[in-house]
Amino acid sequence: MLNTLSQFLSMDFAPARVEDHPERTLQLATAVLLIEVMRSDADCADVEQAAILKILKERFHLSNEEVAQLTERGLRIAMTANDFQQFTSLINRELELSEKIRIIEYMWQVAYADGKIDAHENHLLRKIAGLLYIPHDDYIAAKMRAKPADLK
């Protein structure tokens, strides 16, 4: 079973692919983290799904079909991933601090999409921010930028 999972992850998220298509691998890592926010609360709302699609489409300039494929693949990987290290280590290697902060902001946008922050979402975001080495003041600033005006 462990071997099968390892083969699956190597097909969908192989580190060797970073050299071939770094943008696609980073897109997938970002998609997985956004999906994990949606999955972290008890209620996977359609508005959270819509927020993920919108963020990925705008951030990576993807077509509707490409976004659908990316999120489908991201969901498969998110459902089988044991931890976040494989995603955050790639992001840490490839992105500058400002870009990593932007990913945290996107994650907050997904969390806020349903109008409430679940304790599990809050915990997950803090954990991911730590793994991405985001300073606390930048983490809070990203949270405040992502917070909708009607919740401020």
Domains of the chain: 23-151 (1.10.3680.10)
Report the phi/psi class of residue 40: left, alpha or beta, with left for phi > 0 and alpha for psi in -120 to 50: alpha
User: Where is average pLDDT lowest: 6-15, 19-28, 128-137?
Assistant: 6-15
Give the pLDDT band (50/70/90) at residue 12: very low
Instruction: Give the pair of three-digit tokens for residue 117.
Output: 């922050």
Burial class (CB in 10 A: 0-12, 13-18, 19+), 118: middle
How many other CB atoms sit within 10 Å of the CB of residue 144? 11
Amino acid at position 11, single letter:
M
Give the pLDDT band (50/70/90) at residue 45: confident
Percent of residues in the chain assigned helix, strand, coil, to nearest 5:
80, 0, 20
Residue in the block written with tokens 């071997």: 3
Q: Give me the pLDDT at residue 22, please.
A: 52
Confidence check: pLDDT of 20 > 90: no
